Structure 1
Amino acid sequence: MTTRDRGIALTVVLLWGLNFIAIRYSLDHFPPFFLASLRFAVMAVPVLLFVKFPRVPVRWFLLYACGFGIAQFLFLFLAMHLGMPTGLASLVLQTSAPFTVVLGVLFLGERMTGRQVCGILLAVIGIAIIGFARATETDLGWGAVGPIALTVLGGLGWAFGNIGNRLTATHREPGSAQPGDALRLVLWMSVIPPLPFLAMSFVFDGPTAGFDALTTIGSHSGLLAIAGLTYTVLLGTVAGSGLWASLMSRHPASRVAPMSLLVPVVGLTAAWLFFGETPGIAELLGAAVVIAGCALGVMGTGRSPRPTADRVAVSGVSGWRRHALVSPDPS
């Protein structure tokens, strides 16, 4: 990887780490499900008008959109709304990496290495340390475990999205990939979640909660929320995902993917600077264990099943396959 590309990777890490700060500011004003609907709706309209649908199987596109777009943000936004600290959210969401490895074994016939098994166990131990520390060292008691569990479920949703992304590459006609398909997949994913999230908002947030928040958009919290939403869409998703897709198309996943493990470092540091969040010693220990486990899971590349006709890499598809393994946009 060239110095320029390493700089691009670090830029993406910074954009995605700060994205959790933007989400927090938005959640301080908007109800969680209405925010999720709004976050995707502002992207969906221009995508429908100006972006060509990628040449991918629709059923796997829907798996990607429902996992990455709906399940991830449903649980992440709800967890942060219920008190999940911003910095820890950026960390715990990285459980998507070991989840992706496990789902690859269950649904794609892949085989785990010993290093990956150790990484998954380390990640579980780290989450347990954080949960115990939050339960015993905060006023919330064991109620603090709920938001952590919801964030873990967000990581699981992200992992299902990764599997859907992978399947869009392995179940398509050889030679059918087109330049920019990976980014178009990310953009078109935003078309699916707005209506389901709006329905959830009506039921759980209340039929007028989101629109009431819009009427006070000129307030201090409203302006911060709009700034956060703008950051999430333009910098976190369009710029961040576009740059990442470009890197994944030019370099092996084993060189690019580990850079995403710096996202929670940025997230934890930014949460301390912006909100004064200071993790305890036990939480920091758990964070280090989670990052180590995720690193083993990402870098300990699993063994693929015996090649079949639909897994033969062709020009344009190999880059897709690398991109599908790790797609760490937490926007």
Structure 2
Amino acid sequence: MTPPALTPPALPTPAPAFEPLPRQGYFLLASLALFWGTNWPAMKLAVADMDPWTFRAICFVAGAGGLMLVARVQGLSLKIPREDLKPLIVTAFVNVTCWQVFSAFGLTMMAAGRASIIAFTMPLWASILGVFFLKERMTPSRVVGLALGLLALVILLAPEFGRLGGAPWGAAMMLAAAMSWAAGTVMLKAIRWRMDALRLAAWQLAIGGLPVVAGSLFLGRPESVFDLTTPGALGAIYAALIPMIYCHWAWFKIVELFPASVAAIGTLAIPVVGLFSSALVLGEPLGAADLVALALVVTSLFVVMVLPSLMARR
């Protein structure tokens, strides 16, 4: 039985600055920061043993298959509404294919923690695109929060400037990944989807994964899966299951709940978790700059996610 189509929130009317943010969104953002953050060292372990095309293909098959299985268990139809098909193909390519391919190859050329920092310049691009295409209003709290978060990223990235000059392709690929994710986020928010977040995430991964699976067969080395060491295998299993299944559903739900700029700024905690977990798992160095950046990110999230609600109660 096909469930009734869901009516997405009207666009482009943005939420007022003083409107309380959905409580469910806070939990989803916190879990996203934990699982997507720890995914960076897991991916680094995986691509150290396996070629990026094969790694991403496995992730797509596991992610799309897992989400579709969950949908069927819940009694949901996997039929794509006719009106959703064309935008689904376009957004899947921008939001999923480009992000996954660029980030996987960029990760082979850079330290995992630093790669995550470049990737999460995404809030800057999403906020700018949201103003132009969604007519979202950049309130003072969002501007301050974005500025603090980006300052944290600059502090973390500063030691890498010299190294980036010697390996520009890694930085360029991570920046392309960030921009494609930002564009995909705004597109997801702008389109009036008839599918719920679970089925939308499943089909985005399935459609967005097709070029990657093809790439793994013609450009990759599928046999590299047999080169996996124990750490590489554990990293691949973790990345293919929790981040690809749960985190993608959570992200699509967050975009559904929050304005695009707030959803994007809420991801600023992910590179901090990525940096610290990479230090713990991979032995990548940490310093005083990392602690300063952590404080800035926490302040940024407080300004955007908490402070407006506190001020509204006064």
2:12 aligned residue? none
Distance 2:265 2:186 in 1: 18
> Which segment drifts farther, 269-278 or 287-296?
287-296
Displacement after TM superposition at 1:294 (Å):
8.1
CA, structure 1 residues 32+293, in 2 after alignment: closer, same or farther (shift >3 Å)?
farther
| Pair 269,46 (structure 1): closer, same or farther in 2 beyond 3 Å | closer
Q: Does 1:98 align with 2:98?
A: no
- 2:146, 2:265 within 8 Å by CA — same for their partners in 1? no
CA contact (8 A) 2:68 2:202 kept: no
What residue is the counterpart of 1:309 in the other structure?
none
Structure-1 residue corresponding to 2:15 = none
Deviations 1:30-84 (A, max 9, x none): 111222222212334566785614546223222321122111112211111112x
Once the two structures are TM-superposed, the CA of residue 21 in structure 1 deviates from its matched residue by: 2.2
**Offset of 1:22 from its aligned partner?**
1.9
2:279 paired residue number: 272
Answering whether residue 162 of structure 2 is matched by residue 162 of structure 1, we say no
Give the 3-state SS of the residue equivalent to 1:99 in structure 2.
Answer: helix
How much has 1:6 moved relative to structure 2? 5.6
Match of 2:49 in 1: 29
2:134 alignment partner in structure 1: 108
Q: Distance in 1 between matches of 2:152 and 2:262?
A: 24
Aligned with residue 182 of structure 1, among 197, 200, 203: 197
- Does the 8 Å contact 1:23/1:228 carry over to 2? yes
- Looking at structure 2, the residues matched to 151 and 69 of structure 1 have their Cα atoms a distance apart, in angstroms, of 14
Alpha-carbon distance change, 103 to 257 in structure 1, aligned in 2, over 3 angstroms: closer
Q: C-alpha distance in 1, partners of 2:301/2:24?
A: 26
Listed as ranges, the matches of 1:1-331 within 5 Å are 9-45=29-65, 52-53=78-79, 55=81, 57-83=84-110, 85-113=111-139, 116=142, 130-136=156-162, 140=163, 142-169=165-192, 177=194, 181-201=196-216, 207=219, 209-214=220-225, 216-217=226-227, 219=228, 221=229, 223-243=230-250, 260-281=267-288
CA contact (8 A) 1:101 1:297 kept: no
Q: Is the 8 A contact 1:133 1:283 kept in 2?
A: no
Post-superposition shift, 1:184? 1.0
Shift of 1:286: 6.3
How far is the alpha carbon of 1:108 from its aligned partner? Answer: 3.3
Q: CA deviation at 1:277?
A: 0.9
TM-score computed with the length of structure 1 as normaliser = 0.67
- Give CA deviations for 1:114-161 in whole Å, capped at 9, x if unaligned: 55556666666655555542134xxx4622454233212211111111
Q: Secondary structure at the match of 2:207?
A: coil
Q: Structure 2: which amino acid aligns with 1:211?
A: P
SS, match of residue 191 in structure 2: helix
Relative to structure 1, the CA distance from residue 244 to residue 283 in structure 2 (aligned partners, 3 Å threshold; closer, same or farther) is closer
**Which sections of structure 1, spanning at least 5 residues, go unmatched?**
302-331
Cα separation, 2, equivalents of 1:6 and 1:290: 15
- Cα distance between partner residues in 2 of 1:53 and 1:43: 18
The alpha-carbon distance between structure 1 residues 271 and 196, as it changes in their structure 2 partners (threshold 3 A), is same
Question: Is the alpha carbon distance of 1:30 and 1:235 closer, same or farther for their aligned partners in structure 2, counting shifts above 3 Å?
Answer: same
Cα distance change, pair 248–210 in 1 and its aligned pair in 2 (3 A): same
CA distance in 1, matches of 2:59, 2:141: 37
Unaligned stretches of 5+ residues in structure 2: 1-20, 309-314
**Distance across 2 between alignment mates of 1:27 and 1:196:** 19
After superposing the two structures, state which structure 1 stretch, 89-98 or 42-51, moved more. 42-51
Give distance in 2, aligned partners of 1:34 and 1:57: 29
Amino acid at match of 1:23: M
Amino acid at match of 1:272: A
CA contact (8 A) 1:130 1:283 kept: yes
Q: Secondary structure at the match of 2:121?
A: helix
On the 8 A contact 1:135/1:143 being kept in 2, the answer is no
Do 2:96 and 2:209's aligned partners in 1 also have CA atoms closer than 8 Å? no
Deviation at 1:95, TM superposition (A): 1.6
Query: Take 2:24 and 2:68, find their aligned partners in 1: how far apart are those partners?
Result: 33
Q: What TM-score, normalized by structure 2, do the two folds share?
A: 0.70
Amino acid at match of 2:271: P
Residue 229 of structure 1 and its aligned partner are, at CA, apart by 2.8
Q: Percent identity?
A: 23
